[in-house]
Amino acid sequence: MEQLNPRIETSWLAELQDEFSKEYFLKLKQFLVEEKKQYKVYPQGARIFAAFDATPYNEVKVVLLGQDPYHGEGQAHGLCFSVPDGVRQPPSLLNIFQELNTDLGIPVPKHGNLEKWAKQGVLLLNATLTVRANLAGSHQHQGWEIFTDQVIRSLSARRDGLVFLLWGNYAQAKADMIDTSKHIILKAAHPSPFSVYRGFYGCRHFSKTNELLIQMGKKPIDWNISSI
């Protein structure tokens, strides 16, 4: 599995290179080799580390935590909640856009590709970076969470003034890894249709994030992915 040796943006490689030789990661690689012999795995290998490639380590301003890649055909492309151009917006993503519209008046876009956010410093990080086709959660507890927890710990320890968006119980369980004397955590319900009315709608995390970034002297995020 050449793509896990790894092909990852150089600043992240410098931060995470020790992880790739640890026993858990070697077992994870072997698991993926065997998995790909029998099943289709998403995203494609070149996109597994897309979140890191799009948002270099020292450019991270906001961290948005997801859980799993989408498991439908053509949906996953390495950025949490995002789908490639031309792919129908999944329900959670559509709910995110609805809240964005309520919060900042930004029209709901026709596509669901969040690369524009990533290129402005929003790390779109799933806890698990791969999934078996059509089987949600199928690559959990194989080692990815150890790796992505280390990502969170590294950012918490070595960076300052980041905004962490923790949506839903799974993401909020990561809060203990984040040094709140240096960083800000915004919590809300998950944007899934099952929980969106329990506190995601109305959370105003997009405007709040920008207010916090401005207070820290950082450039706010242009959340409108329809604009050039």
Give the residue numbers marked as catalytic: 68
Spatial distance between the Cα atoms of 62 and 197, rounded to a whole number of angstroms: 24
Report the distance separating Cα 106 and Cα 115, nearest Å: 17
Question: Would you tell me how many other CB atoms lie within 10 Å of the CB of residue 142?
Answer: 17
Q: How many Å is the maximal CA-CA distance in the chain? A: 51
Cβ(83)–Cβ(77) below 8 Å? yes
Q: 133 and 39 in contact (C-beta within 8 Å)?
A: yes
User: Measuring CA to CA, how many Å separate 69 from each of 10, 43, 189, 213, 217?
Assistant: 23, 7, 19, 28, 33
Contact 126, 51 (CB under 8 A): yes
- Return the ∠ at Cα 104 (arms to 99 and 108), rounded to 5°: 55
Instruction: Note the residue count of the chain.
Output: 228
